[in-house]
Amino acid sequence: MPVLIFYKHLKLYAWILSPFIAVVPASLFCVYLYHIPINYDVLVVIYNTNPAEAYEFARGYMWYFIIFLVFYLFFYIKLIERLPREVSLKVSLIMSMAGLALFCVLSLFNDQPATYAAKLKEGVTRSSFGGLTYSVSNLVKNIRIASRHKELVKDFKFNARQKQNVAGRQVYVLIIGESSRAKSWQILGYNRETSPNLAKKDSQLVKFDNVCSGGYITNLAVPLYLTRATPDNYDQHFHEKSIVAAFNEAGFKTYWLSNQSNFQDVAMLTEEASEKVYLPSDYTFTKNVHMDMKLLPLLKSVLANADQKSFIVLHTLGSHYRYSARYPEEYNFFRPSTKTNLVNPTDYTKSKYIINSYDNTIRYTDALISQVIDMIRQTDATSSVSYISDHGEDMFDDERRLSQHIHPVPSKYIAHVPLFVWLSPKYRSVFPDKVSNLKSHEHSPIGSQNIFFSLMDIGNITYPQIDSAKSITSPAFKGGVQRILGGGGKVYKYSDLK
Ligand SMILES: [Zn+2]
């Protein structure tokens, strides 16, 4: 369409377009692998990756891609050379009008229930030029606001306090899982033995089987559990502090022990902890691989501090792809797995290997949670261990053959996450009502916004005007709002997901 503006400088226009043209092969690559163009979330992943991870991921295609890219750019440059320097005003007018007409007609074929004006707008943001510009500007905006977070929340306070004095030591642990879907947990009904350890602790656990994550990727999901932001108002978490700060205010020592790369939105939360330790693991299995059990010695040393009141977050790498790098040989239970067979994560024909490896990561997580519970039990404190996964994972479940968690329209397998709560014998005797309320909500619909309020209430923490009916420990809890943030900032209703 802009040919009309550049009709005297056609070559200049072609050069201005060249950065967008250069990105097209990468976008095609993305469409080929995941059936989506490069969007905001793909850019977040690219922004947070490193050369080793990118190479691990792309090596099966690398040479085809490079050869294609070289030919493609060569062809484009040759075309620019052959382009006339200028065209007549009349020709440029016809070209631009034809472009505009085509764009308007194509928007008619958009079958979304929206006004025609909205469809035109979506046409701009979904076109490869418009979409890329929109995504890049969104990413820059988010990086900027995240970097200002400290200043934005410097005067923020919940005025949180504990509701009553609890005698003796208190330890509240939150384990944040990664890509662990509810459907693959034996104790939630899966027909494979993926959670033998927690199965043995079944009677001591409260297991929730109807929990919807708030976001389809880590850096959307985790802030939505730990702050008061909701999928419909995600930006709220830039302007507020999280549950970590609330525990600080209530006199707790707070710890963040992480085996995760520290994405911007999550990094903002970890900053609030009194102490933090990172074991930043690469997603590869070539170097810097820390398995989640390496968090246990850190937990042990934190418990040795003998703080009277502590809140400890363990942020695990759980079941993040590459699955076979998440667990050691002795947990290679389901075979054949990708531990010994290198396969591409999107290769449906190798799904048997991929699912076996994925299920092994769940077994490993099961062992981890179980060992954390045993360690906390030994403190003899009023304590709890809660486990929730950030989001689920696609595992070639239906004819869409989706894998990992990159598709911008979340599936029900991405949204449905496990939530388990273990409460110590002392906790059960001090707060029998909370325990029975939790138990009575095992099958209630729970959404991401309930997690903040529930963890607060498990820790017996309140603040003025707290909406305690959002807590699953409350007798007033009537079920939560189950919505999930997908790609491009779109929010989906859990019950609508396929
Ligand atoms: Zn994640």
Burial grade of 337 (CB within 10 A; 0-12, 13-18, 19 or more): buried
CB count within 10 Å of CB 179 equals: 25
Q: How many whole angstroms separate alpha carbon 41 and alpha carbon 263?
A: 12
Do the strands 309-315 and 275-278 form a parallel or antiparallel pair, or are they unpaired? Answer: unpaired
Q: How far is the CA of 170 from the centre of ligand 1 (A)?
A: 29
pTM here? Answer: 0.86
Report the pLDDT value the prediction gives residue 286, as an integer from 0 to 100. 63
* Average pLDDT over every residue of 309-331: 95
Q: How far is the CA of 352 from the centre of ligand 1 (A)?
A: 22
Going by CATH, does the domain composed of 158-496 fall within 3.40.50.720? no
CB count within 10 Å of CB 308 equals: 13
* Average pLDDT over every residue of 229-242: 94
Q: How far is the CA of 306 from the centre of ligand 1 (A)?
A: 32
Q: How far is the CA of 148 from the centre of ligand 1 (A)?
A: 24
Q: How many whole angstroms separate alpha carbon 389 and alpha carbon 14?
A: 47
Q: How far is the CA of 414 from the centre of ligand 1 (A)?
A: 10
Q: How far is the CA of 178 from the centre of ligand 1 (A)?
A: 5
The residue whose two tokens read 């519970």 is: 373
Q: How many whole angstroms separate alpha carbon 145 and alpha carbon 223?
A: 15
Domain with CATH 3.40.720.10 in the chain: 158-496
User: pLDDT by residue (tens digit) across 41-98?
Assistant: 777 777 766 676 677 667 777 888 889 999 999 999 999 999 999 999 999 999 999 9
Burial grade of 49 (CB within 10 A; 0-12, 13-18, 19 or more): middle
Query: Of all helices (H) and strands (E), which one includes residue 439?
Result: helix 432-440
Confidence tier at 372 by pLDDT (50, 70, 90): very high
What are the helix and strand counts (H, E) for the chain?
18, 13
Return the minimum-mean-pLDDT range out of 96-105, 279-288, 306-315: 279-288
